[in-house]
DNA sequence: GATGAAAAATCTGTGAC
DNA sequence: GTCACAGATTTTTCATC
C-alpha cells in the first residue's frame, strides 16, 4: 500500500492526540472528514492500524506493583518458546509479552495489587512457567513516556 | 474516587473490546448509555482512564527494527535520573521510557527504519545520553500480548 | 447524589460529483 | 479529493428516585 503525506499527517496526529474524532483529525491533517475516514479505513485494511487500546492507570485502580521480568529459556528443547509463550498468555496479570534475539529470550510485564499479591503470582504462576533457565525481576517505578511522535 | 461494580464492568469491557461505542459498552455492562457515558467521564477525570490509543503496526509502515535498551546510571550524581530522563524524552525514536528499582535503572524502547538507521540513532542519540554507567541492548522479535483482561 | 428517557448537538459513513 | 445528507452516536437536559 502506498502511504501518502496525508496518511502520515493523520497517523502523526493520532499519536500526538489519541482519541480525537475523525472530524477533528481531518481538520488537523488538512483533509475533509470523508477523506480522512476513507484513509483511516484503508490504513486499517492494510494492517497499519491494528485497532485501539484503552490506556488504564492501574495505580489509580489500586494495582500498586508493576514488575518487569526477563527470562532466559532452556533452548535444548525446541518447543521452549512456544510453550513458554502459550503458558504466559494465560496468566491474566501478565500485561505484556515480548520476545528477543540475544542473551535474554523473553520479557514479561506484570501487575499486582500489592507485594503480597505479587509474591503469590510470582510463586504460583511465574516460577511454574515451562522451560525457564534464568530469570531476573525489576520493580517498575514509573512509565514516563509511552508513545511516539515520529516524523514518519 | 469510589469505583463501583458498574465501573469495573465498563473498564473490563473496554479492555476486552477496545473501540466499542458508548452505547454498546453500556449494553454489555448492563447500564444505560447516559449512565455509561457519565461513568466513563468520571473515570477520565479521576485519572483512571488515560484515553484510547491507536495501535500502530510499525512494521507495516516500514519501521523494521525495535530494540529494548537497559541502562545503569552513574548514581554518584544525584541529578543523573532527571537529566537522563529529560534527554531521553527528546529522542523521537524512543517510544517508551521506564524507570526501575534495582540493578537496572532505566529501560528505553526504540524503533528505527532499519539497522543502518538504528546504528545512527544508537551512536548519535543513545550513547550521548548523560550519566550512563552501563547499557545493554536486546533486539525485539515480537510483542505477543499487550493488554490485560483482569478481574478488576 | 445518582439514574433513565428523551431531546439537541455532533459525528460517521455513504453516494454523487 | 470535495460536498451533501441520512442515520447513528454522543452529550445535555430534565424529571425522578
A5-45 belongs to CATH 1.10.1740.10:
no
Q: What is the pLDDT of residue A149?
A: 74
Contact A47 B60 (CB under 8 A): yes
Q: What is the pLDDT of residue B144?
A: 86
For the cut 90, the answer to whether the pLDDT of residue A21 exceeds it is yes
Best residue in A62, A112, A121, A145 to probe B by mutation, most B CBs within 10 Å? A145
Which A positions 91-150 lie with beta carbon below 8 A of chain B? 92-104, 107, 111, 137-150
Q: What is the pLDDT of residue A131?
A: 98
Q: What is the pLDDT of residue A102?
A: 86
- The neighbouring-strand residues paired with B66 are B111
- Predicted TM-score (pTM) of the model is 0.91
Burial of A130 (0-12, 13-18, 19+ CB in 10 A): middle
Q: What is the pLDDT of residue A146?
A: 75
Domain ranges of chain A: 5-45, 58-139
pLDDT digit string, tens, across residues A25-45: 999 999 999 999 999 999 999
Burial of A114 (0-12, 13-18, 19+ CB in 10 A): exposed
B138 or A149, which is more confident = B138
Per cent of chain A over pLDDT 70 is 100
Average pLDDT over residues A110-125: 97
Q: What is the pLDDT of residue A1?
A: 77
Nearest CB among B88, B100, B141 relative to A99 is that of B141
Contacts of A52 in chain B (CB under 8 A): 18-19, 52-55
C-alpha cell, B143: 510483542
Helix axes A5-16, A33-45, angle to 10 degrees: 90
For the cut 80, the answer to whether the pLDDT of residue A129 exceeds it is yes
pLDDT digit string, tens, across residues A43-65: 999 999 998 999 999 999 989 99
User: Measured in Å, how far apart are chain A's first and last C-alpha atoms?
Assistant: 15
Count interface pairs A-B at CB distance under 8 A: 179
Contacts of A96 in chain B (CB under 8 A): 143, 145-146
Question: Counting every residue, how long is chain B?
Answer: 152
A24 or A146, which is more confident = A24
B58-139 belongs to CATH 3.20.20.100:
no
The rounded average pLDDT for each run of 10 residues, N- to C-terminus, in chain B (152 residues) is 91 92 94 96 94 90 95 95 96 95 94 96 98 97 82 76
CB atoms within 10 A of CB A29: 22
Q: What is the pLDDT of residue B148?
A: 74
Amino acid at each position: 500500500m502506498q502511504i501518502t503525506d496525508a496518511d502520515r499527517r493523520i497517523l502523526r496526529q493520532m499519536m500526538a492526540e489519541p482519541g480525537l474524532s475523525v472530524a477533528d483529525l481531518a481538520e488537523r491533517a488538512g483533509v475533509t472528514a470523508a477523506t480522512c475516514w476513507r484513509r483511516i479505513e484503508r490504513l486499517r485494511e492494510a494492517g497499519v492500524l491494528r485497532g485501539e487500546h484503552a490506556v488504564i492507570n492501574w495505580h489509580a485502580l489500586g494495582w500498586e506493583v508493576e514488575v518487569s521480568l526477563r527470562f532466559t529459556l532452556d533452548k535444548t528443547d525446541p518447543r521452549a518458546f512456544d510453550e513458554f509463550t502459550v503458558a504466559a498468555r494465560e496468566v491474566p496479570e501478565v500485561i505484556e509479552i515480548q520476545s528477543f534475539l540475544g542473551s535474554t529470550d523473553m520479557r514479561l510485564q506484570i501487575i499486582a495489587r500489592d507485594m503480597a499479591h505479587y509474591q503469590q503470582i510470582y510463586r504460583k504462576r511465574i516460577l511454574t512457567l515451562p522451560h525457564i533457565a534464568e530469570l531476573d525481576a525489576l520493580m517498575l517505578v514509573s512509565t514516563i513516556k509511552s508513545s511516539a511522535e515520529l516524523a514518519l
